[in-house]
Amino acid sequence: MARPRRIVLLRHGESEGNADDTVYEREPDHALRLTETGLRQAREAGVRLRALFGEERVSAYVSPYRRTHQTFAALGLAQDRVRVREEPRLREQDWGNWQDREDVRLQRAYRDAYGHFFYRFAQGESGADVYDRVGAFLESLYRSFEAPDHPPNVLLVTHGLTMRLFCMRWFHWSVAEFESLSNPGNAEIRMLLLGENGRYSLDRPFERWRTPEPYGRTG
């Protein structure tokens, strides 16, 4: 099994929805574009990634959303060293078909109060649903490692919540741990690095906005 030396998680650059939530009244979430700031952020991330990968090969998986495809294109990675695939299981949490800005804000507030893992958007997904499809993707990813010539680098271009849930699934974090962490910023990177002990570790933690709270007592 040729396990990669690093698995790089990259959140897309700033999108139109990040900059102005009224855009959801006019455009579906999957069609939102990067802003000029988002394009700049993606190019800056590309400088870091090109230095990191050097001449090594990369296996890249990209969420099917427009903003993630634009982010990947702006990275400027050498096409002859990158194998890229669109991966629908790495998409953003489905929010349903929203056209009312106040409904968007209200449901986000409900999610914040209820919990990001368990709250299900009307006509959309819960964080738990995203966790399940990320788990299904991981099974496919593990199988790809069986190829003796698998590239030493994996790159996932995805979304903030999906990044946290990927790490939750990989490292077997509890729901309470997941709920205590914040999303990375736009175009931020996290890496899973393969150590000499054969185990992966996160290069740097996600920011924590509160101490994890246990759900009950034992004993």
List the CATH number of the domain containing 94: 3.40.50.1240
In a domain, 133, yes or no: yes
Say which residue the tokens 């990375």 belong to.
Answer: 184
Query: Percentage of the chain surpassing pLDDT 90?
Result: 79
Q: How confident is the model at residue 98 (pLDDT cuts 50, 70, 90)?
A: low
Closest listed residue to residue 162, CA positions, set 79, 80, 89, 102: 89
Beta-ladder partners of 83: 59
Task: Check 12, 69, 116, 159 and give the catalytic one.
Answer: 12
In a domain, 186, yes or no: yes
CA distance 9 to 28: 24
In a domain, 179, yes or no: yes
Q: Is 92 marked active-site?
A: yes
Domain ranges, residue 175: 6-202
In a domain, 207, yes or no: no
In a domain, 215, yes or no: no
CA distance 81 to 104: 41
In a domain, 167, yes or no: yes
- Mean pLDDT of the residues in the chain: 93
pLDDT of residue 219: 38
CA distance 65 to 42: 15
Q: Is the pLDDT of residue 218 over 70?
A: no
Chain segment 57-76, per-residue pLDDT in tens: 999 999 999 999 999 999 99
In a domain, 85, yes or no: yes
Chain segment 22-31, per-residue pLDDT in tens: 888 889 899 9
In a domain, 13, yes or no: yes
Task: Check 16, 92, 125, 179 and give the catalytic one.
Answer: 92
Instruction: Please tell me what DSSP assigns to residue 205.
Output: P
Q: Is 12 marked active-site?
A: yes
* Structural domains counted in the chain: 1
CA distance 16 to 19: 5
Say which residue the tokens 């000029």 belong to.
Answer: 36
CA distance 27 to 33: 10
